[in-house]
Chains A and B, each alone.
Chain A
Amino acid sequence: MIEKVRPHPSQNEPLIFERSSPGKKAYQLPDLDVPAVDALEALGAANVRAEIAGFPEVSEVEAIRHFTRLSTWNYAIDYGMYPLGSCTMKYNPRINELVARTEGLAWAHPYQPEAQAQGCMEVMAKLEAALAEITGMDAVTLQPAAGAHGELTGILLIRALLEKRGNPRKKILIPDSAHGTNPATAAIAGYAVENIKSSESGVLDVAALEQIVNQDVAALMVTNPNTLGVFEENIVHVAEILHQKGAMLYMDGANMNALVGIARPGDFGVDVMHLNLHKTFSTPHGGGGPGAGPVAVKKMLEPFLPAPRLRRAGKKWAWDFKRKHSIGRVKAFYGNFGVLVRALAYILAHGGPGLRNATVDAVLNAVYIRKQLEPYFDLPYTQANMHEVVFSDDRQAKLGVRTGDIAKRLIDYGFHPYTVSFPLIVHGALMIEPTETEGKQEIDQFVSAMIAIAKEAESDPQLVKSAPHGTRTSRVDEVTAARKPVLRWKPA
C-alpha cells in the first residue's frame, strides 16, 4: 500500500484494485425476460470458472473519479504543443468524435447484408477516392490497421508482383535514417534488410544506390521528405534507377504532412505507399492508438490488394471477394472503419484548398522554428527543411547536457518533449515538428523555452540534467523496470 505522499487526492489516486471492496457495484443490468439457465448444467462443471479473483469492485462515482484523476496526470494536445518530429501531432477535431458515433455507423456489424450497409461502404469508397487523389496513386486499400501494418501490406504487395514476374528477389534497401518499423516490417515479410548510408548532406546517396541495386533487390523503402525533414530532390532519378532494374519504390507516408496538395508521390515515381491517418489526417492518438494505415498503389499492384475490395454494382456498392491474385487478408473485416470516418470528416472539413493550406502552414511553422533556434542549437544538415527540423545536441553535449536532458527540461516549461535521439544518423538528435495547428504565439513560447534551456545548459547544466522538476512524477527508473519487470498488480 502506497503512503500518502502528496496532500491532494487527485495526485494520490491508487490503482483501481486498491480502491476495490467486495460487493461494490457500478453496473445495473435489466432483469432477464427469459428463464435463467444453470451455467453448470448448460456448460458442464469443468467449464465454469470460479470468481474472477482481484477484478475491480467499485461504485460508479469511484470509477469516474479514478479515471478522471488519472487523466490529469497526462499531457495532451488539448493542453499544448507536441513538437514530436515525425508524429504530426495536429489538433484532433471534435467533430470527428461526434460523427464516428453516429448510431447507424457505430453499430453497423461487418457482416450486415450489403444492402443494409451501403452507408458504410459509401464512406469507405469516398475516402479511397480522396486518398488516391491526394497521393496521385491509382487504387487504395483501407484494410491495414496502422502504419506498420500498412508497411507490411505494401511489401507483401511488392513480393506478390515480383513473384508473378518470376522472381520475388531477396532484399529490401533501407536508408539508415529510416524509422524502426521499416526494417522490422521487411523482416516479417521474409526479406533480408540491407542498410544504405545517407550521403553527407543527409539525403539518399544516388551513386551508392546505383551500385547496389541489382536483381536481388526487391525494393527501396524511402520516406519523403526524409526523417531530417528534407525533400529527396533526386527522387525521380531514384525511382528510375530502381525501375530499370525491375525493383520497386516504396514510400513510408509518415511525412505526408509536408506534401498534401503540393506534390504527389504517385507523380514522382512511387509504386506503393502507406498513409498514417493518425498523423496527416488528424485522427486522435488516444495515448498510443488506434490508427489506420491505408495503402495506395499504382495500377500494376492493384490485382494483389487485400480482399475484399469495393466494387460498384449498378447504383450500389458491393464487396468483391473474387480476387484471385490478392495477397490475402491482413486483418479481419474491412479496416478500422471508425478511424476512417474521422479521417474523411477531416478531409471534408478542409476540402482541397484547406488541405493545401494546412501543408503550407505546417512547413512555414517548421522553417520559422529552424530560423529561431539555429543560433542556439547545432544544425548538422543545412538544406531547406520542410515540415520538421532536426538539430543535434553537440553544442550542449560539450557541457554534459544531452538531448534527453533538454527534452526533460522542456517539460518544466509546459511542453511535451520533441522526438529524442531519432533519426540515428544525427548524433543526439532533437527532431521537431510543430504541424499547422500551432499559431505564432504557441510557437514563440516554445522557441523561448528552447532558448532558455540552451542558456541553462551553459549557466546551470545540473538543472537541466536533473529535470523535470515541476511534474507530479520525476524521472522514472527504467533500469529497474527492465531488470525486474513487474507487469501486473498482485494483491499483497
Chain B
Amino acid sequence: MYPDNYRYTKEHEWVLVEGDTGTVGITDHAQEELGDIVYVDLPKVGAAIEQGKSLGSVESVKAVSDIYCPVSGEVKEINSTLADQPESLNSDPHGAAWLVKLKLSNPAEAQSLMTAAEYQAYIGAEK
C-alpha cells in the first residue's frame, strides 16, 4: 500500500526523491479522509516553495485541505490531468495522481520524514 521508496509527512503527503527531483503527492489515507475529490489547486511552474509551506489545496464537496510541501524546491512540472480528472486522486494517489515535480534545493530534507513503516504506524495510532 505505502511504497517503501517514498517518504511521508505528518500532514499526509508523500515524496519520491530521485536525485534532485522530488515527486509529491497525497497519501491514500488522505484521500480516504477527504472523500470524493472535486478540485485540486496547484502552484504555478517556477514557484519556489519551502518545506512545510502550503503548495496548494485539495477540495471535496464540503471540505478544503491545504497541501504542505514535504521538501523545499522549485516547481518544474504540475500534473495537468488533475484539472479534468480530480477523481484520479481517489483511485491512484500514489501513482498517476502525483501533484507536482520539484527541483529540490536540499534533497537531504527528505531524511527527516517518515518511512513507509513509520507512516503506517502513525496512521494506525491516529485511528
Binding site for B on A (CB under 8 A): 421, 478-479, 482-483
Dominant secondary structure at the B interface: loop
User: Taking beta carbons and an 8 Å cutoff, which residues of B are in contact with A?
Assistant: 36, 38-39, 59-62, 86-87
* Set of chain A residues within 8 Å of B61, measured between Cβ atoms: 478-479, 482
* 6 additional A-B residue pairs with CB within 8 Å, beyond A421-B62, A478-B61: A479-B36, A482-B39, A482-B59, A482-B61, A483-B38, A483-B86
A-B contact pairs, 14 of them (CB 8 A): A421-B62, A478-B61, A479-B36, A479-B38, A479-B60, A479-B61, A482-B38, A482-B39, A482-B59, A482-B61, A483-B38, A483-B39, A483-B86, A483-B87
Q: How many angstroms between the C-alpha atoms of A483 and B86 in the bound complex?
A: 7
- Across-interface contacts of A479 in B (CB, < 8 A): 36, 38, 60-61
Give the CA-CA distance A208 to B36 in the complex, in Å: 37
Q: Which of chain B's residues has its CB closest to A479's CB? A: B36
Please report the C-alpha to C-alpha distance between residue A421 and residue B35 in the assembled complex, in whole angstroms.
Answer: 16
Which residue in chain B gives the minimum CB-CB distance to A483?
B38
Find the B residue at minimum CB distance from A478.
Answer: B61
**Residues of chain B lying within 8 A (CB to CB) of residue A478:** 61
For the complex, what is the distance from the CA of A483 to the CA of B40, rounded to whole Å?
10
Report, nearest first, the 3 A-B pairs whose CB atoms are least far apart.
Answer: A482-B38, A479-B36, A478-B61
Contacts of B38 in A (CB 8 A): 479, 482-483
A483 to B60, CA, bound (A): 9
Query: A421: shortest Cβ distance to chain B, in Å?
Result: 8
Give the docked Cα–Cα distance between A478 and B60 (Å): 10
Which chain A residues border B39 with CB–CB below 8 Å? 482-483
Query: Across the two chains, which residue of chain A brings its CB closest to B86?
Result: A483
Please give me the residue from chain B that is nearest to A482 by CB atom.
B38
Chain B residues with CB under 8 Å of A421's CB are 62
CA A478 to CA B38, docked complex, whole Å: 9
The chain B residue with its CB closest to the CB of A421 is B62
B54 nearest CB across to chain A (Å)? 16
A483: which B residues are within 8 A, CB to CB? 38-39, 86-87
Chain A residue numbers with a CB within 8 Å of B86 are 483
B56: shortest Cβ distance to chain A, in Å? 17
B59 to chain A, nearest CB (A): 8
- The distance in angstroms between the C-alpha atoms of A482 and B36, with both chains bound, is 10
Smallest CB-CB separation from A404: which chain B residue? B62
Q: How far is the CB of A353 from chain B (nearest CB, A)?
A: 43
B59 proximity list for chain A (CB < 8 A):
482
The CA of A482 and the CA of B39, in the complex, are separated in Å by 8
Rounded to whole Å, the gap between the CB of A179 and the closest CB of chain B is: 16
**Distance between A420 CB and nearest chain B CB, rounded to angstroms:** 10
User: In the assembly, what is the distance between CA of A482 and CA of B34, in Å?
Assistant: 14
**In the docked arrangement, what's the CA distance between A478 and B61, Å?**
7
Expressed in whole angstroms, the minimum distance between the Cβ of A394 and any Cβ of chain B is: 15
User: A183 to nearest B CB, angstroms?
Assistant: 13
A478–B36 Cα gap in the complex (Å)? 10
* B47 CB to nearest chain A CB (Å): 23
Whole-angstrom distance between the alpha carbons of A403 and B8 in the complex? 32
Q: How far does the alpha carbon of A393 sit from the alpha carbon of B92 in the complex, in Å?
A: 31
Write out the residue numbers on chain A whose beta carbons fall within 8 Å of the beta carbon of B62: 421
Chain B CB within 10 A, most for which of A421, A478, A482: A482
Residue of B nearest to A420 (CB): B62
Cα separation A483 to B37 with both chains bound (whole Å): 8
A483 to B59, CA, bound (A): 10
Give Cα distance in the complex from A111 to B84, angstroms. 51
The residues of A that contact B36 with a CB separation of less than 8 Å are 479
B44 to A: closest C-beta gap in Å: 22
A421 to B60 Cα, complex, angstroms: 15
A478 vs B62: C-alpha distance when bound (angstroms) = 9
Q: A424 to B101, alpha carbons, bound, how many Å?
A: 35
Q: How far is the CB of B111 from chain A (nearest CB, A)?
A: 33
CB nearest neighbor in A for B87: A483
